Amino acid sequence: MNTLALVDVTVLEVELQKFADDRDWQKYHSPKNLAMALTGEVGELVELFQWLTETQSWSIAKDPTTAEAVRDELADVLLYLVRLSSVLGVDLNAAVIQKLAKNGKKYPKGDSTPSRD
C-alpha cells in the first residue's frame, strides 16, 4: 500500500462523528442519505455559478457578495464527502492515489483532452 499522504481527513472524520453523536444523528447517516445530501450540496454550489459568464466564474470566490457562500458550499461538499467515506469505510487517501494512477494511464502526459472522470 502506498503511504503517500495526499489526503488526510482523520481528524475531520473524528470531529464529524462527534458532531453526529452529540446530536444523535447517526441514525440518519446511512450511505444513501449521505449521498443524497452530498448531491444537494453540490447542487447548491453549482447554483452559485448558474448564470455567471466564464470570466465571472473565475472571481466568484473573491467577490465579497459571493465569497462566503462559495466557501460555505465547498465546505458542505467536503464535510458530506468525508462523512460518507467514513461511514462506508473508504480510505479517501488510498482512493485518490488509486484514481490518480488510473487517470495517469488513461490520460498520459501530453494528452490535452480534458478528463470527464
Work out the average pLDDT over 25-53: 98
One-letter amino acid identity for 115?
S
| Nearest by Cα to 94 from 31, 12, 14, 7 | 7
For 58, phi and psi rounded to 5 degrees? Answer: -70, -20
Cell for 93? 487517501
Cell for 6? 495526499
The CATH superfamily holding the domain 27-89 is MazG-like (1.10.287.1080)
Compute, in degrees rounded to 10, the torsion defined by CA atoms 20, 26, 27, 30: 110
Q: What is the value of pTM for the model shown?
A: 0.89
Residue 117 confidence class, pLDDT cut points 50, 70, 90: low
What does the alpha-carbon distance between residue 10 and residue 82 come to, in Å, rounded to a whole number?
9
Residue 113 has pLDDT above 90, yes or no: no
Render pLDDT for 58-103 as a digit per residue (tens, 0 to 9).
999 999 999 999 999 999 999 999 999 999 999 999 999 999 999 9
Q: What DSSP string describes 42-70? A: HHHHHHHHTT--HHHHTTTTTSTTTHHHH
pLDDT at 74: 98
For the chain, what are the domain ranges?
27-89
Q: How far is CA 53 from CA 3, 23, 49, 78, in A?
A: 41, 41, 8, 25
Residue 2 has pLDDT above 70, yes or no: no
